[in-house]
Each structure stands twice: as C-alpha cells, then as structure tokens.
C-alpha cells in the first residue's frame, strides 16, 4: 500500500530533495506547489532521479478548498510543510505578504490535519528562532528562543507558537518542528538544486554564481566581527542530509503511540566562517573567487551553530556529508544550470 506524504513546497529547494529522500525510504510524495518560487525544471530533475514523474498538484497552500479536495483524495500518512516565503530582506519590504502566505498556509494545513486526523506533521522551522545567541554560540533545543529580527523570522517563531497551541487542542497528533541551520549543496546527480530568483541572498549560491560569471564579485559582509577570522559563522548543512532528517522525523513520529510536539535542530554541530567557505571553494575548485570585504549586513547573527545531539538521540539522524561535499555538489549544480 502506498504511504502518501503531502509535501507542500515540494518543488522548492529543500522540498525537492526531500521528495527524493522520501522515495528512497518507500514513501510516495504528493507535491503541492504553485511554482511561484520554484522552477519547473525541477520536475525534469526529479523525473531523472526517481525514474518517473512525481505526483504534483499545482496549488496554493492558501487555497483551502483546493487543499480540502486533496485531503479527500489521498489518505495521507503525514504532511511536511515547506511552502513559505524565505527571504529575510524581502520580508522587511513585504511583511503582509509574508504573514499572509506563511501563516495562512500553515493554519490551513493544520486545520485539515485535524479535520482528516492525519497523524504526523513536520514543520520547516529555522534556527532564526534563537536570534543572536547570548553566551554560548552552540544552541540546543532548550536554548531559550528570542524575538526575531525580521518578519520572515517572526513567521517561523509564530508558526511554532501556532503549532504549540494547536498541539494543546489536538493532543493526539504527532508534530515536529525541524529547526534548520543553513542548507547548502545539491543532489549528487546535479539534476536538482537551488534556483535563486534574481540576485541570490544566500552565501553559497552567490559564491557559485560569482565563480561562473553571473555575478561580478562576492561581498563578504564584514570581517570585523568577534570571530576567529572576523567573518560570521554558521552551521552549513548539506541539503541531502537535511532531506534525510525529514524522513527520519516522519519515521520517528509514525512509531510514537501517543501525540507529541517536539523541536529538533538540524545542523552539523560545527560552525564555518564566511571566509572559510570562500577558501574551501577556491581549494576545491582550483578557481580564484573575486571578492571584496564590505560592511556588515543589517540583522546578521554573528555566530551560531547547532547542538545536534537531540537529532541523533531522538531521530537516529546525523549529518553524513561535509561542507566540502556541499561545495562540490553546489558547484556541479551551477555548472549543470549553465548547460540548460
Ligand atoms: C538566515 C537565517 C536562516 C534563514 C535564512 C533564509 C540566521 C542565523 N539564519 O540565514 O535561519 O533560513 O536567512 O534565507 O538568522 N554572506 C556574505 N555575502 C553574501 C551573502 C551572505 O558575506 O553575499 C554571509 C552572511 O553575512 C552570513 C553568511 O554569509 O554571515 C550566511 O548568509 P545567508 O546565506 O544569507 O544565511 P543566513 O543569513 O545565515
């Protein structure tokens, strides 16, 4: 019997890689995506990797009636809810669009999960809920959350709050917030990866686009931070490891006999600085990356990385791939894009 998993935003960056990881573990993904922030090329990539077309419904997660039909059509075992806007800077300019899309989409999905008693739910949360860590830069799930700096951050913070309140009203359901650190890299086949729309905000796509000539040079946002080389430190997690974390989360939830709500960090447990990424990219590719040191970016966290113990103990999951793997795969993907 098919184990159908609804994957909202399944044509997006993390969603598409998770569709691959789900299939490897015997789940059947039902993708909901309206492609407003995804590229249809991903469908060809998925077909190549899976050996068949994915099940796809072109739908907005804010379309409650359309979603209801889908829940009537499939007996979902679980839902992974990725569909959301994710650009920090854009969220400052368009707060209402962010709150409408990210919160309404989540509320619609939760209402249907309760109505149809879908037992397992995984939410795309973010380490942004920790804000700038006070004291230790390694954060665990017990580290107190802080108020975010951007509307985007608030949608994740409020999303977790909505889920916490929902959990009290529907205690039989099994719910998990995965707090992602910085997803990077691409599938090893280089057939799916990240499609930044316009100028990339995130570091690694900017690095690969600079190396291939789409961007003139990289600006390192600040080298006067109190870190080992003055640039900011993040926990970069390979997107396939992140994808597998979702499968581990679903499998864990499916094995629980009673309802629960948990939050789990999804990171490697190690921090890498911006300049270390630049150096690693140059070392791995043999290229020289044109970059300049620029001013600090407003709202940037100085240093944060995951305590990844809970993921290991609770989900039996840990990151397998290195930052070098991620850089190689991101570069192969950028080169594949150049051939299209
Ligand atoms: C932030 C959030 C993350 C959120 C993501 C959405 C934190 C700690 N992280 O990621 O939760 O999901 O936004 O996009 O709040 N950098 C440069 N030059 C560039 C681009 C980036 O130097 O051109 C630097 C940044 O200053 C930062 C690092 O690279 O130090 C990573 O930046 P980015 O990829 O944008 O991710 P975060 O800001 O960490």
| Mutation to probe ligand 1, out of 89, 297, 298, 323 (largest number of atoms < 8 A from CB) | 297
Judge contact between 304 and 261, C-beta under 8 A. no
Name the residue with tokens 């839902």: 79
Q: How far is Cα 85 from Cα 201, in angstroms, rounded to an integer?
A: 13
CA 202 to centroid of ligand 1, rounded, Å: 5
CA 89 to centroid of ligand 1, rounded, Å: 11
Q: Which of 105, 171, 121 has its CA nearest to residue 6?
A: 121
Is the shortest distance between the CB of 127 and ligand 1 below 6 Å? yes
CA 334 distance to own-chain centroid: 19
Q: Which of 204, 236, 205, 238 has its CA nearest to residue 321?
A: 238
Q: How far is Cα 96 from Cα 119, in angstroms, rounded to an integer?
A: 31
CB neighbourhood size of 199 (10 A): 10
pLDDT on residue 335: 98
* pLDDT tens-place string over residues 153-177: 999 999 999 999 999 999 999 999 9
Is the shortest distance between the CB of 233 and ligand 1 below 6 Å? no
| Mutation to probe ligand 1, out of 14, 216, 234 (largest number of atoms < 8 A from CB) | 234
CA of 274, closest atom in ligand 1? 29
Who contacts 87 (Cβ-Cβ below 8 Å, separation ≥6)? 152, 201
| Mutation to probe ligand 1, out of 274, 294, 304 (largest number of atoms < 8 A from CB) | 274
CA of 181, closest atom in ligand 1? 11
Is the shortest distance between the CB of 14 and ligand 1 below 6 Å? no
Q: How far is Cα 273 from Cα 289, in angstroms, rounded to an integer?
A: 16
Is the shortest distance between the CB of 201 and ligand 1 below 6 Å? yes
CA 115 to centroid of ligand 1, rounded, Å: 37
CATH, domain range 4-186+236-267+314-320 = 3.40.50.720
Distances (CA, A) of 22 to 27, 81, 246, 333: 5, 14, 8, 21
Is the shortest distance between the CB of 121 and ligand 1 below 6 Å? no
Residue extents of the structural domains in the chain: 4-186+236-267+314-320
Instruction: Identify whether 13 is a catalytic site residue.
Output: no
Is the shortest distance between the CB of 277 and ligand 1 below 6 Å? no
CA of 231, closest atom in ligand 1? 30
- In tens digits, what is the pLDDT along the chain, a chain of 340 residues? 579 999 999 999 999 999 999 999 999 999 999 999 999 999 999 999 999 999 999 999 999 999 999 999 999 999 999 999 999 989 999 999 999 999 999 999 999 999 999 999 999 999 999 999 999 999 999 999 999 989 999 999 999 999 999 999 999 999 999 999 999 999 999 999 999 988 999 999 999 999 999 999 999 999 999 999 999 999 999 999 999 999 999 999 999 999 999 999 999 999 999 999 999 999 999 999 999 999 999 889 999 999 999 999 999 999 999 999 999 999 999 999 999 8
- pTM for this prediction: 0.97
Question: Atom 18 of ligand 1 has which residue's CA nearest to it?
Answer: 220
Helix H segments across 78-221? Answer: 88-93, 95-98, 105-116, 151-169, 203-212
Active-site entry in 13, 152, 236, 305: 152
Question: Atom 13 of ligand 1 has which residue's CA nearest to it?
Answer: 88
* pLDDT tens-place string over residues 122-158: 999 999 999 999 999 999 999 999 999 899 999 999 9
Q: How far is Cα 184 from Cα 86, in angstroms, rounded to an integer?
A: 14
- What is the DSSP track for 149-182? SSHHHHHHHHHHHHHHHHHHHSTTSEEEEEEE-E
Is the shortest distance between the CB of 146 and ligand 1 below 6 Å? no
Is the shortest distance between the CB of 301 and ligand 1 below 6 Å? yes
Q: How far is Cα 239 from Cα 94, in angstroms, rounded to an integer?
A: 27
């Amino acid at each position: 019997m098919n184990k159908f998993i609804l994957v909202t935003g399944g044509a997006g960056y993390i969603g598409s890689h998770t569709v691959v990881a789900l299939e490897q573990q015997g789940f059947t993904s039902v993708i909901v995506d309206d492609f407003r922030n995804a590229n249809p090329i991903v469908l060809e990539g998925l077909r190549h990797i899976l050996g068949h077309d994915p099940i796809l419904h072109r739908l907005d997660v804010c379309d409650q009636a359309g979603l209801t039909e889908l829940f009537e059509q499939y007996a979902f075992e679980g839902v992974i809810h990725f569909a959301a806007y994710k650009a920090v800077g854009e969220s400052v300019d368009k707060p209402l669009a962010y709150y409408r899309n990210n919160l309404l989409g989540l509320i619609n999905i939760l209402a249907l999960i309760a109505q149809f008693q879908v037992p397992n739910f995984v939410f795309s949360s973010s380490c942004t809920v920790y804000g700038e860590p006070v004291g230790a830069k390694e954060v665990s799930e017990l580290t107190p959350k802080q108020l975010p700096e951007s509307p985007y951050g608030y949608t994740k913070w409020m999303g977790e709050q909505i889920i916490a309140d929902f959990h009290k009203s529907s205690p039989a359901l099994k719910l998990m917030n995965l707090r992602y650190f910085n997803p990077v890299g691409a599938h090893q086949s280089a057939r799916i990866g990240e499609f930044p729309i316009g100028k990339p905000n995130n570091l690694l796509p900017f690095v690969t686009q600079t190396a291939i000539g789409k961007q003139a040079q990289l600006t390192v946002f600040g080298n006067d931070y109190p870190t080992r080389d003055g640039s900011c430190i993040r926990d970069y997690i390979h997107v396939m490891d992140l994808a597998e974390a979702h499968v581990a989360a679903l499998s864990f939830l499916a094995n629980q006999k009673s309802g629960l709500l948990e939050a789990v960090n999804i990171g490697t447990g190690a921090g890498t600085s911006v300049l270390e990424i630049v150096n690693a990219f140059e070392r791995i590719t043999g290229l020289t990356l044109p970059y300049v040191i620029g001013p600090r970016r407003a709202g940037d966290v100085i240093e944060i990385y995951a305590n990844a113990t809970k993921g290991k103990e609770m989900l039996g999951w840990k990151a397998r791939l290195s930052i070098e793997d991620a850089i190689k795969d991101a570069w192969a993907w950028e080169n594949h894009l150049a051939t299209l």
